[in-house]
């Protein structure tokens, strides 16, 4: 499965913002938000909502790269997200997401009929490479009934 294409097809809002993917791998993803005037806030950087969407999108790709093969029996849902805006981002921004769970344990919980929960952490860097925001997204796989 081409996870980047699947995600952008499934989430039109991410396409609207112009989010693209540099890479998607085993429990990881790197997504990019362009530097566009229509995405800026009152101080000239990317709007907080655009940064949130970028990070949440990257976390979803990282999650799907690990659990996409479970979509026939469970629906992935974000259950909580926390974000810290540390610095003003300037220029194009990049979100790097990493799954913070053991795939076998999560699938084992699903096999046992439970609803596993796990985190994906994301660092957002500005065009100069400095980390400007950090986010943690908690995900669950809700078993199909």
- DSSP state letters, 99-131: E-S-HHHHHHHHHTT---EEEEEEEEE-TTS-E
Which candidate, 130, 145, 104, places its Cα nearest to that of 45?
Answer: 130
DSSP label at residue 63? H
The domain that holds 44 is classified in CATH as: 3.10.129.10
Which pLDDT belongs to residue 98? 98
Q: Indicate the SS3 state at residue 88.
A: coil
55 with 132: CB under 8 angstroms?
A: no
Taking the chain (145 residues) in consecutive chunks of 10 residues, what is each chunk's mean pLDDT? Answer: 92 96 97 96 94 98 97 97 95 98 97 97 96 98 92
Pairwise CA distance, residues 126 & 140, whole Å:
29
Question: pTM surpassing 0.75?
Answer: yes
Strands 117-125, 131-143: pairing kind: antiparallel
Which pLDDT belongs to residue 1? 82
Pairwise CA distance, residues 72 & 143, whole Å:
9
Range of 9's domain? 3-143
Residues facing 24 on adjacent strands: 29
């Amino acid at each position: 499965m081409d996870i980047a294409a699947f995600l952008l097809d499934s989430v039109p809002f991410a396409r609207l913002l112009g989010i693209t993917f540099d890479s998607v791998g085993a429990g990881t993803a790197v997504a990019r938000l362009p530097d566009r005037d229509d995405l800026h806030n009152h101080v000239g950087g990317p709007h907080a909502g655009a940064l949130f969407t970028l990070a949440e999108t990257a976390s979803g790709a990282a999650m799907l790269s690990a659990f996409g093969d479970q979509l026939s029996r469970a629906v992935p849902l974000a259950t909580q997200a926390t974000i810290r805006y540390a610095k003003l981002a300037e220029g194009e921004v990049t979100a790097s997401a990493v799954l913070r769970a053991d795939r076998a344990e999560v699938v084992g919980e699903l096999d046992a009929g439970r609803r596993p929960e796990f985190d994906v952490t994301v660092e957002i860097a500005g065009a100069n490479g400095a980390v400007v925001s950090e986010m943690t997204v908690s995900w669950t796989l809700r078993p199909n009934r």
